[in-house]
Structure 1
């Protein structure tokens, strides 16, 4: 029997008074985080939710996230974390696709009206029975959007006997767009998530006071496993930052004596820019820095080591691999530009289209304790990427004589904008619903701070007069903030192959 909630429960039992979460002026001990998670579990059970049910959670990096995440797990139910930038239409799709029975949604703010979008998405989905508002005002018992968490928890006991789930039960469903349009839910088991948290935790040297800055979104696999689950397993302190901003991050790191930072390359780039501009100081407490999400430019790596006195260790993984598959591991030489070697208990190899071993470069395939069960309710999509326990990633790489892997090209045409995966086909499908658009091709173009920016080449319908600005504005209303194209270029025609496929490499 195994339940991912153990990473919190063990630390709460061993060091109940130690600080688990820091948010602003709030400092919450392990005992309190575990008790509120217990209340959430009792609430869910009282509403008829238990082992095998799905519960969605849309929340930025706030104390609510661990309260609800581990509360769901304690009942034996499955957590379905949602990206906080999703629009109402996209939220409804995820709730429906995951068969969610309940939905915890942060109230949001004027800048990010997550609560309104969540409520609208909930209203458009038949199967979801319960909507709980996580209020923006701490401990508020009323919200115009519906029942608040605090009102619902009133009178609930914090004692809860955690449901004994099996290692192969699904703990979390993480949505990933893949290269084929609609997002798919990767089913990750309790074993997948616990093992990945343990291996990550064991890789980094322990400090007398381990303090992690949590700037990576917790709804994403990187922040969830490497920071929250591994950090709680270690009994460390998690300093939550809802929205990454370099000066705020560096100020917090100095104030809270942060020892470990994990981020995507654009975060490192932004922090360096802030230090070089004299807007922030280097935090002297930092010991470990990890990067993932996309390749860290070697110049940024060198500059960070010179400026911060800390080497950034690069890793690699996907939602489907819980997420970490390989890493430049402490104790071994790190190679700039490399994603390192497979983590403990995991194998990697390069394959061609027929799963044979290529001569030089090939697609990365991964096998081990970190591989998902499959895509939720999508056996065909699962069969396309899985064979004999191996999962093919869609990322092309080469391997050197020491067994280190180097990414050559990424999954087909995927765009990574500011650490978020953007899948051109999904954007193209939405663009084509615009009355003035006849054909669209979306590509990533280089961008100084985001790594890549989303650009759409569009052929207008005859007689249509929509301007570039109007189309960008329409996209902004229709798609999540990290997805919509910031640049639109109208063309009379697009380069194509004989079979009618658009030649995207000629557009870049």
Structure 2
């Protein structure tokens, strides 16, 4: 079996995989935008992707050149992804709302040849590119001279689409396929390698084939800055219709999509599920064969309530994976304990390490940090120093997540070891928010933390020390953050004013003490 997989991977790459799927499913529906009810066939998706791939070649892009995509889930957003794969171009997905300062952090490492963005974000992309002195070409999803339609018209190659050949190249040299900007540290990172992930996708294809051959809807809530967004874009059209939305994915809207399109499967974050479950609008969950969830701690009450509203034969499944692992490390089986994450995927090796002693934990029911090693592990893109910091010498990733294993080998998630905060499905990194707040002339010191929230996981709170003689207000701080950072990083938990931040013996800010203060202090 290993030899067979090796042979298939040596002769094919992800571009071949995509073209083969689209040609075999040509007359079937590939994708639907639930915000507009527009749908598109596999033949149309393939045609547009080939035309864009031809444009890339006319511009002189060669295998290994990077492109970035910062778009919402409309019918255009995956076309550059598919075109990039056919040409051997690494593709990085970005949150569509990132502003100039945030974009610069990614562009510094990625150095993209082409950047796709929503039309309202054009100036942010222009400014980031100009300030970094890059020669990146911008293409927008929307009107104007930078639009995708205009770009394809200008750079169209006069060649029949059926004569188009997928690029051939050494896959060992084009070592990066997909670059995710989600994950536990927020650094751009390689999350898919050509050979291993072609294997994973083919396995998924065999497993997911419908019993009666009927293509039904599956719901894709993930945008391309999540690794799940990449996999959904590639895997869902194999046997199902990919339903997504270009509108804001509010709970009301997701409920309307579920009620209308009756998807049989989806992967939703616990926060999204909580908002659906607590919404006054009725959501018919009996259409689902399976709902997967993961990314943060899932309370037993939520799982039980979800299962009670689904069909008796339907499955609610917890799953655990990371961008760095390139896929799922463990997922709950139908016979596994209710609140567990199941057992590990046989492709991976894991162990629990005591944060206090650094020694491996072998006894059951003792919490430790999860270390993971496997064939699809990914390093940090153009950042060997950060890669060295999070990987051990023998190749284990230090995940920063705390688990314990019971007597029967089932794993249970406890908490995150790192200081990253979770707001809904997004990750918020306190130093980034603190850096912005410290720009205010009236702020002497600040520590950003989070307070628990029933549906959103955490709300971001800023604990601020004013400079003497300054009367900076909570509104001033909130407005400053809102001006410079995306909405999910805003101070939904409020602002706490302190005379001084608590510190450790070594003089560092005592973040645990700050979190306790934020829980009890008056928040404005």
Query: TM over 0.5: same fold?
Result: yes
Distance 1:231 1:170, change over 3 A: same
Structure-1 residue corresponding to 2:263: 258
CA contact (8 A) 1:459 1:490 kept: yes
Distance 1:321 1:210, change over 3 A: farther
RMSD: 2.2
Instruction: Report matched runs for 1:27-426 at 5 Å.
Output: 27-107=39-119, 113-135=120-142, 142-143=143-144, 146-154=145-153, 155-156=156-157, 157=159, 158-159=161-162, 160-168=164-172, 169-176=175-182, 178-179=184-185, 183-186=187-190, 188-200=192-204, 206=210, 208-225=214-231, 227-232=232-237, 234-242=238-246, 243-274=248-279, 277=280, 279-309=281-311, 310-329=314-333, 332-352=334-354, 356-359=359-362, 360-372=366-378, 374-387=379-392, 388-426=394-432
**What is the deviation of 1:367?**
1.5
Q: How many matched pairs?
A: 485
CA contact (8 A) 1:176 1:186 kept: no
Structure-1 residue corresponding to 2:452: 446
Deviations 1:268-303, CA, capped at 9 Å, x for gaps? 1111123xx2x2340442111000221221111100
Q: Where do 5+ consecutive residues of structure 2 fail to align? A: 1-9, 516-524
Hey, which bits of structure 1, 4+ residues long, moved more than 4 A?
165-168, 176-179, 198-205
Distance 1:337 1:166, change over 3 A: farther
**What is the deviation of 1:316?**
1.0
**What is the deviation of 1:395?**
0.9
Aligned to 1:320, the other structure's residue is in SS state coil
CA distance in 2, matches of 1:60, 1:100: 19
CA contact (8 A) 1:103 1:128 kept: no
CA distance in 2, matches of 1:171, 1:28: 25
Structure-2 residue corresponding to 1:22: 32
CA contact (8 A) 1:77 1:171 kept: yes
Distance 1:218 1:344, change over 3 A: farther
CA distance in 2, matches of 1:273, 1:58: 31
Aligned to 1:426, the other structure's residue is in SS state helix
CA distance in 2, matches of 1:201, 1:415: 35
Deviations 1:104-163, CA, capped at 9 Å, x for gaps? 1121xxxxx33332333233332233111121xxxxxx51xx422112212445453222
CA contact (8 A) 1:105 1:132 kept: yes
Distance 1:63 1:460, change over 3 A: same
Distance 1:403 1:195, change over 3 A: farther
Structure-2 residue corresponding to 1:470: 476
Distance 1:463 1:92, change over 3 A: same
Q: Which 10-residue stretch deviates more, 65-74 or 253-262? A: 253-262
Distance 1:457 1:116, change over 3 A: same
**What is the deviation of 1:237?**
0.7
CA distance in 1, matches of 2:469, 2:117: 43
Distance 1:248 1:321, change over 3 A: same
Deviations 1:34-56, CA, capped at 9 Å, x for gaps? 12111111111111112011111
1:504 to 2:511 alignment: yes
CA distance in 2, matches of 1:86, 1:118: 9
Deviations 1:326-351, CA, capped at 9 Å, x for gaps? 1113xx42333322222242222212
**What is the deviation of 1:167?**
4.8
TM-score scaled by structure 1? Answer: 0.89
Aligned to 1:380, the other structure's residue is in SS state helix
CA distance in 2, matches of 1:177, 1:258: 27
CA distance in 2, matches of 1:365, 1:266: 26
Aligned to 1:9, the other structure's residue is in SS state helix
Structure-2 residue corresponding to 1:110: none
**What is the deviation of 1:203?**
5.7
CA distance in 2, matches of 1:299, 1:398: 20
CA distance in 2, matches of 1:105, 1:500: 43
CA contact (8 A) 2:371 2:399 kept: yes
CA distance in 2, matches of 1:344, 1:30: 34
Pairing partner for 2:495 from 460, 464, 488: 488
CA distance in 1, matches of 2:271, 2:229: 15
CA distance in 2, matches of 1:205, 1:292: 23
CA contact (8 A) 2:340 2:413 kept: yes
Distance 1:165 1:348, change over 3 A: farther
